[in-house]
Amino acid sequence: MAATGPRMALAALAALGATAAFTAPANAAPYGNGIEVSSEAHIAEDGTIHLFGAYHCTDPSPSGAVQIKATVVQDDVRLSIGAGDAVCDGARHEWAAHGTLRFTPGVHAGEALAEARLEEIHFGGGLLPRSIDTVAQDSHPVMVVDHR
């Protein structure tokens, strides 16, 4: 029996509704994972910006690795910095992210938005990731202090 247009549309809407109902919101921290970013960021004399914070996470899936990503947003500038791999043993760990402002000179002293995320990267057998899931995130205003 062939499905009519209205029935197909209704089935598609039902599938979308079910997906929305069973998908965790982006700021959720499943399985007790969490990350936070400190209330200050610092620009060093050499033009490097530093963000700090803490995180805790559980073991990733066997096909994944967990990394920390930090971002500073100020005016019309968005600077993303990787903070490396996370140690997911359930304990609280400090993290630090450092990035150069050489190619992003628009970041300056003053208020900015800082974002930090724990991202679980799943590999599918090749060098490129199969998928990336955010397992914890934090975002709030920070004060950028310029030491130049």
Distances (CA, A) of 52 to 40, 79, 125, 142: 8, 15, 33, 11
Residue 63 binned pLDDT confidence (cut-offs 50, 70, 90) = low
Q: Is the pLDDT of residue 127 over 90?
A: no
Mean pLDDT score, 71-81: 94
Mean pLDDT score, 114-122: 91
Q: pLDDT per residue over 82-100, tens digit each?
A: 888 899 989 999 999 999 9
Q: pLDDT per residue over 10-36, tens digit each?
A: 333 333 333 333 333 333 445 679 999
Distance separating alpha carbons of residues 72 and 30, to the nearest angstrom: 24
CB 59 within 8 A of CB 79: no
Q: Any alpha helices (H) in the chain, and if so which ranges?
A: 5-21
Tell me what pLDDT residue 124 has. Answer: 72
- pTM summary value: 0.72
What is the DSSP annotation of 6-49?
A: HHHHHHHHHHHHHHHHTS--TT--GGG-EEEE-SEEEE-TTSEE
Residue type, 123: F
Per-residue burial over 113-145, b = 16 or more CB atoms within 10 Å of its CB, e = otherwise: ebbbbbbbbeeeeeeeeeeeebbbbbeeebebe
Q: In the predicted model, what is the mean pLDDT of the chain?
A: 79
Of residues 121, 37, 30, the one with CA closest to residue 71: 37
CB 82 within 8 A of CB 69: yes
What percentage of the chain exceeds 70 in pLDDT? 72
Tell me what pLDDT residue 59 has. Answer: 75
Mean pLDDT score, 130-138: 86
Tell me what pLDDT residue 148 has. Answer: 92
Tell me what pLDDT residue 75 has. Answer: 93
